[in-house]
Amino acid sequence: MSDVWVIYSTFESHDEALSVAEKLLENRLVACANIQGGTTSVYRWEGAIQRASEVVLIAKTAQPKLQAAMELVKHLHSYTLPCIIAYPIGGGYPPYLRWIEDEVA
């Protein structure tokens, strides 16, 4: 098992997700980020079912930087209750996983 984690978050706009990704990279909290548009989210909020067009940010980091990266996402996020989840990478291409760890070291 590697020491690499993925942070998943959704945003209202591409510009917001891009801004957060750039701040994470500037602070060496993540090695890279992917931004995917065109996501439709369906969720319950304040007692009603809601729908929203959102943008997904997927960022890769190593365990020592995980908490700081999630805190920065939370600090920069425009939502009252942002989706910020993290999950470990159980495996992958070893040179790529080492690159992620090296980039945030």
Q: First vs last Cα of the chain: how many Å apart? A: 18
Number of domains in the chain: 1
Quote the domain boundaries for residue 85.
4-104
Q: Please give the chain's pLDDT, 105 residues, in tens.
A: 679 999 999 999 999 999 999 999 999 999 999 999 989 999 999 999 999 999 999 999 999 999 999 999 999 999 999 999 999 999 999 999 999 999 999
Phi and psi at 102, nearest 5°, equal -65, -40
At 61, list the tokens.
């980091």
Crossing angle (nearest 10°) for helices 63-76 and 14-26:
140
CA pair distance 51, 80, nearest whole angstrom: 16
Full-model pTM: 0.94
What is the Rg, in whole angstroms, of the alpha carbon atoms belonging to the chain?
14
User: Domain containing 87 — which CATH number?
Assistant: 3.30.70.120
